[in-house]
Amino acid sequence: MEYILNVPADTEKLKELRAGDSVLLSGTVYTARDAAHKRICEALDRGETPPFELAGSAVYYVGPTPAPESCCIGAAGPTTSGRMDAYSPRLLDAGLKIMIGKGGRSKAVKDAMRRNGAVYLAAIGGAGALMAASIEQAELVCWEDLGCEAVRKLTVRNMPLTVAIDSEGRDLYEIGPKAYLSKGE
């Protein structure tokens, strides 16, 4: 199935998604990779407010390239999500609802997703220009010293994604190959 999804995310809408579904995502998405995740968790440990509202939010694991003239962002392809696995359960428990990246996730992340009704959406690896085409606006939020890994607020429209892991823990990276291999029998 194909779904139109807006952020901030509605937990009930996320429950409708199934691993393998296509999603066109619109709204506000924040960029954050491992260094930013570490700083967000450190801020939470100190009792500080994170740099953006986590409740219902979406985070894209991306370090975009510099914007060419007349564009708001450069290539914006996903990075490997497993690098954020040490921090993701904490952010999910704090309200994060959508993670966007590529590659599999740990059991701890999947458990936190089920516990919090969150989803993991896969972006097309190697297609940074395609992903950037759905980004209408990009603005620096914090940690400019991280360069391309600084936290940015993106306004996206119809970003093409696939549900890799749904809120029930169904994992396309596990069920997809099994379904493919069973066709050959």
What is the pLDDT tens value at each position of the chain, 185 positions in all? 899 999 999 899 999 999 999 999 999 999 999 999 999 999 999 999 999 999 999 999 998 888 888 889 988 989 999 999 999 999 999 999 999 999 999 999 999 999 999 999 999 887 888 899 999 999 999 999 999 999 999 999 999 999 999 999 999 999 877 776 676 65
Determine the Cα angle at 67 with ends 58 and 145, to 5°. 70
What the chain holds in terms of domains, given with CATH numbers, is 2-174 (3.20.130.10)
Q: Catalytic pick from 33, 37, 102, 110?
A: 37
Tell me whether residue 37 is one of the annotated catalytic residues.
yes
Q: Phi and psi for 139 in degrees, rounded to 5?
A: -140, 140
Please name the helix (run of DSSP H) or strand (run of DSSP E) that holds residue 37, with its range, or none.
helix 34-45
